[in-house]
Amino acid sequence: MTSVADDLEKKIVAALADLREAVSRFAPVTFASSMGAEDMVLTDLIYRNNLDIEIFSIDTGRLPQQTYALMAAADKHYGKPAKIYVPQAVSVEGFIQTYGINGFFDSIDARKACCHARKVEPLRRALTGKRAWVTGLRSTQSSTREAVSASAFDENNGLQKINPLAQWSEVEVWQYLRANDVPYNALHDQGFPSIGCAPCTRAVQPGEDIRAGRWWWENPETKECGLHMVDGRLQRIKTGTT
């Protein structure tokens, strides 16, 4: 019978194999870190193993202070500043002009317009010139993410998408972070399992879906920011296609 530690070790080995294969087959590769718990696992794996994968984050301009604190702490911990993309001023100004400074609360269309200006457009720039991107998506994160798996071509963005933690559990993510003394967002200790922009994220109650605190005023099916969507649905990814 294998132990919990053995299972985690096997998943670490598999995740590293996915990352190394991505580098060998799809360079240049970039990793989109939203500074969540899963993203910190991947950041640690990439830096600790000196993998040739750029790490970037998107500063939407509405992130919680704790996320900025983690960005600074991670830069210091690894001695390597991550690349930060910011939205185009004209796009944010256009959103505010049309919908108001907090207009994303008023309708799904307005919320998606805000996410597009502050997240999707910077992501597209970050992916330009890359042949693959890595994400920290896990298949058990929510009802919108059940289809997530290891790797597939991302038709929406025109490059390979690698999800090395697709089969990791939340428990395994935290086992890794604690065993390796990896910095993480202080909000995780205050009931925030999933963290996005400050106005669109709140704490969840014990037993709630871990993404229940994201855009909590919407139906579960609509709760993605557009980074992982195709035609309004979460991108369906098949295994074994790398």
What is the SS3 assignment for 95?
helix
The span of 69-77, 108-116, 129-137, 138-146 binding ligand SF4 (CB under 6 A) equals 108-116
Quick one: angle between helices 4-26 and 37-48, nearest 10?
A: 70
Q: Which is nearer to ligand SF4, 151 or 185 (CB)?
A: 185
Q: Which is nearer to ligand SF4, 45 or 70 (CB)?
A: 70
> Which of the residues 212 through 231 are near ligand SF4 (CB under 6 A)?
225
Does 114 participate in binding ligand SF4 (rule CB under 6 A)?
Answer: yes
Q: C-alpha 123: how far from its chain's center?
A: 11
The residue of the chain with the least Cβ separation from ligand SF4 equals 197
How far is it, in rounded angstroms, from Cα 182 to Cα 177? Answer: 5
Between CA 77 and CA 98 the distance in angstroms is 41
Kindly determine how many residues on this chain lie close enough to bind ligand SF4 according to the rule CB under 6 A: 13
What SS3 state is found at 191? coil
Subset of residues 28 to 67 that bind ligand SF4, contact rule: CB under 6 A: 60, 62
d(CA 212, CA 193) in angstroms, rounded, equals 9
| 94 to 107, 111, 187, 215, 227: CA distances (angstroms) | 17, 14, 31, 22, 20
Shortest distance in whole angstroms from residue 216 CB to ligand SF4: 11
* Binding of ligand SF4 by 197 (CB under 6 A): yes
Q: Which stretch binds ligand SF4 (CB under 6 A): 143-151, 152-160, 163-171, 192-200?
A: 192-200
| Residues found near ligand SF4 in the complex (CB under 6 A) | 60, 62, 104, 111, 114-115, 118-119, 196-197, 199-200, 225
